[in-house]
Chain A
Amino acid sequence: MPVLVNGILIALILVGLLILGASRMIRLVALQGALLSLMPLLITPHGLTWRVAALSLGSMILKGIVFPRLLFRAVKHAQVRRELQPYVGYSSSMVIGMATLAASFWLGGQLPLPGEAVSDLVLPAALFTILSGLFLVVARRKALTQVLGFLVLENGIFTFGVAVVGGIPFLIELGVLMDVFVAVFVMGIALQQINQAFEHIDADQMNSLKG
């Protein structure tokens, strides 16, 4: 089903660009995660099994429902308004996103793969998602947005894994999900703490802590 796979990958890229240009990102990141959870269903070397289905479902629930819930709650607690003063503006972010996309296509062409990729689009899409996640971490001010950046980054790694290896080994995937879950959890708590200590969650003002 290469058409469907390509469709998901293109949707992934488009959502990624939207995330770069949006000030309210939680739903978009959730959408990206949900789209990705469909990938294991489509790329299955051994046919559709219970294991793959469970993995897909679990990932869908975590990324599409649990994470957004947690983050919305954190937003509510911390009374954050949306990101108003990013380091890099929304429209420039999108332009940079386009450049990143071009770079990802170039890199994807250069990168040698151990096996046959499912689609030509896989590598560029994965690289783009990883890079845009990093870019979000760098270019946004609020700690919450940075958490979202890390989620996007993880989505990129997930894409890479699923598409290249053709179904990530179960244990590793569980491990990654667990990592991200813990990361979101810990960051949620950290946000809370930062908020209580400084009455805001601007990560850039943490430089008052340096020695």
Chain B
Amino acid sequence: MPEILLLFLLLAGMFVILSGGAACLLVRTPGAARRLGAASVVAGSLLGILPAIAILLGGGPISAETDWAMPFGRLSIGLDALSAWFLLGILGLSAVSALYSLDYSRREHTHGRTGAREFLFSALVLSMALVVVAQNALLFLLAWEVMALTSFFLVTSESEKESVRRAGWIYLVASQAGAAFVLVLFLLMGRESGSTDFDAWIGLAGRWAHPSALFVLALVGFGAKAGFMPLHVWLPEAHPAAPSHVSALMSGVMIKTGLYGLLRVMLFLGPPDPSWAWALLALGATSGVLGVLFALAQHDLKRLLAYHSIENIGIIALGLGLGLMGIATERPLLAAAGFAGGLLHILNHAIFKGLLFLAAGAAVQSTATRDIDRLGGLLKPMPRTGFSFLVGSIAICGLPPLNGFVSEALIYYGALRGMVDGLPWPVASAVVLASLGIIGGLACACFAKAFGVVFLGSPRSAAAEPPKEAGTWMQAPMFILSGACLAIGLAAPVAVGLVAPVVEQITSTFAQPSSAVSGLEGIARSISVASFILLGLLLLLAGVRFLVLRGRPVRGAVTWDCGYAKPTPRMQYTASSFAQPLTHFFGGFLRTRAHGGRPEGLFPRPTAAFSSHTPDVCTEEAYAPLFQGALALFSRLKGFQHGRLQLYVLYVSVTLLGLLILKLR
């Protein structure tokens, strides 16, 4: 397709999203606003996703620029393979989330602010798209801030709740702190290159004065958005507080914009230092292992999913770190496998995490609680939601035949390749393999817990009204995403082919031979074949089960019937008890706190109770003391605000006089 057509499609898509969202502000009836907002996001996303796909299929990069009134920069956008890869995920997930919101938002209380919420949602989608297509630092920062602010307002949709307001503030502070690092990074780069255009920066690749300092700034600034482990504190707060389709979008793609920024800056910086790869590997291992451990200890379904986002960001960082390691040590196949695995996992995580948040949102909405220990047996009233959640769970655990397996297998392959090829530091491969192994195992345990406790068994608490299956518009997005999980799992070579231009763009920027990606085709084909075989086996088993049960009566019976006179649903495994062996084993990291006392005596008092919660170690041990200290320090400055006019004038005159004397001395 000609480039001008692709450009037109991209701009038209963004325009449709923006104008539709703005029009929502003017619509009075909530139903019409919802439909208009969702329709414009879906239509705009479908328009904008076409150029992204065209570029990933081999089209040339497109770009456009024009003057604008802002100082220090031109309005310059462009779509290369890297941008297109992220845009694909952003617009794809936005479209299905918007569909989902049609039914989901109908049941939420919006306090007459439906139009505003639809507008904010559209603005969030648009700003995320703008972040990945911006080719100028100023435009990037503007889009970055709009993204942070719109998502802040969406997180605080239910601002009448104290917990939501608290989550909102934590999110706002964290994202602004991260943005401050990004701002400093861009200022430094702009000063050194004398331009704010990305084109000028890429020209300086390899010739920056202090590339490692810039890399650290990028790692902290973008890492705060992505949710690397010590910087992750906002994720477990903000994701549960937001409406579910917003959580899906934030967890699925918004945090990935942090990774996009990091990758983009690495391209500017040029040939990487091995220490950068080590930093990414260390962050990835920490985030991955601790993320899944904390997920295991959670009782709140959406909080659990939020910790899994941290875990998956860790997996992605492991992949990207391996890729960097491959480039730093000039091992093209390792670089290709690492980057391909990391990048593919970015898209895969967007798909299955979006799916999980949407399914969890449906479950939470129909039962009005996020507490896993109060749910149970939801598979019967909500079979389709339950099935979708199961698909997402299998995918996130990295099990075949779904998409999570493909990307994790590529990273595994890269790590093994590194060992075979004689990486100077085989311990790097070992770290990756060990972390991925631990993460995979714990993730399986965690989702066995989440799916088992929420959807299997029988209800643990009497709901006010029996849960109902989600509406059609909520089911359709879940099925679309489930289908995508399966499709990528089965068609692994196609997925690897799609990601290949992105990997080639990265490796060729670092002056590596770009043919290495084709070396991954073999492994992708084997993954695909294995997935087909496994799927065939599964279908075969299902068929056998069907045949065996045909013509025989199937009846339900009490599950816990061995010797209990009066079994109750409360005797089932709870989320805490299921995870207890593991959380106990890792107690040193988790610091789970138990409340309540054991029953004592022959006739225990009925007040004996047990509950436990696992606060975030970073929040409790690092950030809370830090901010308390800052508060104490700054409240001392309050003495200067005493309200005495005379002394204020004294401050001014003493300062002026001091400056004068200093200058004249």
Residues of A within 8 A of B (CB): 87, 107, 110-111, 131, 134-135, 137-141, 146, 203-204, 206-211
CB of B646 within 8 Å of the partner chain: yes
Out of B641, B649, B660, B665, name the residue touching A210 (CB < 8 Å).
B641
The answer for the CA separation of A210 and B409 in the assembled complex, in Å, is: 63
> B665 contacts which chain A residues (CB < 8 A)?
110
Asked whether B657 lies within 8 Å of A203 as measured between CB atoms, the reply is no
Contact call A138/B650, Cβ cutoff below 8 A: yes
Judge whether A138 and B647 touch: CB under 8 Å: yes
Interface pair A209/B660, CB less than 8 Å apart: no
19 A-B contacts (beta carbon < 8 Å): A111-B664, A131-B653, A134-B649, A137-B646, A138-B647, A139-B646, A140-B646, A146-B645, A146-B646, A204-B644, A204-B645, A204-B646, A207-B643, A207-B644, A209-B643, A210-B641, A210-B642, A210-B643, A211-B641
Knowing A87-B646, A206-B645, A210-B641, the reply to whether A134 touches B653 (Cβ < 8 A) is yes
Closest 8 CB pairs of A and B: A207-B643, A210-B643, A110-B664, A134-B653, A138-B650, A137-B649, A203-B645, A138-B646
Q: Give A136 Cβ to nearest chain B Cβ, in Å.
A: 10
B69 an interface residue at 8 Å Cβ cutoff?
Answer: no
In Å, the complex CA distance between A210 and B641 comes to 8
Highest count of chain A CB atoms <10 Å: which of B647, B649, B657 = B649
CB distance from B26 to the nearest CB of A (A): 38
Closest to A130 in B: B653
* B contact residues around A207 at 8 Å (CB): 642-644
Q: How many residues of B contact A (CB 8 A)?
A: 15
A206 to B643, CA, bound (A): 7
Given the complex of chains A and B, what is the CA–CA distance between A110 and B644 in angstroms? 33
B661 beta carbon closer than 8 Å to chain A: yes
A107: B residues at CB distance < 8 A: 660-661, 664
Residues of chain B within 8 A (CB-CB) of A210 are 641-643
> Nearest chain B CB to A2's CB is how many angstroms away?
25
**Is the beta-carbon distance between B653 and A208 smaller than 8 angstroms?**
no
Q: Of all chain A residues, which has the CB nearest B656? A: A134
Q: How far is the CA of A137 from the CA of B653 in the complex (A)?
A: 10
User: How far does the Cβ of A64 sit from chain B's closest Cβ, in whole Å?
Assistant: 26
- Give the residues from 382 to 417 in chain B that come closer than 8 angstroms, CB to CB, to chain A: none
CA of A208 to CA of B645, assembled, Å: 11
- A111 and B647 CA atoms in complex are apart in Å by 27
A209 to B645, CA, bound (A): 11
**Which of A87, A137, A206, A208 has the most chain B CB within a 10 Å cutoff?**
A137
Given that A137-B646, A207-B643, A210-B641 are known contacts, is A131 also in contact with B657, CB under 8 Å in the complex? yes
Bound CA–CA A107/B664 (angstroms) = 8
Q: How far is the CB of A139 from chain B (nearest CB, A)?
A: 7
Kindly list chain B residues whose C-beta atoms are within 8 Å of the C-beta of A206: 643, 645
A209 to chain B: which residues have CB within 8 Å?
643
- Least CB distance from A142 to B in Å reads 11
Q: Which residue of B lies closest to A208 (CB)?
A: B643
Q: Are B646 and A203 in contact (CB under 8 A)?
A: yes
Which residue on chain A has the smallest CB distance to residue B660?
A107
**B653 touches which of A110, A138, A140 (Cβ 8 Å):** A138
Give complex CA distance A53, B566 in Å.
110
CA A87 – CA B644 in complex, angstroms? 12
CB atoms of A138 and B643 under 8 A apart: no
Expressed in whole angstroms, the Cα–Cα distance for A203 and B660 within the complex equals 28
What are the residues of chain A within 8 A of B642 when measuring CB–CB? 207, 210
**Interface residue ranges of B626-665 to A (CB < 8 Å):** 641-647, 649-650, 653, 657, 660-661, 664-665
A110: which B residues are within 8 A, CB to CB? 664-665
Measured CA separation A141–B644 after assembly (Å): 10
Interchain CA distance A141-B646 in the complex, whole Å: 8
- Chain A residue with minimal CB distance to B641? A210
Q: What is the bound-complex CA distance between A111 and B649, given in angstroms?
A: 24
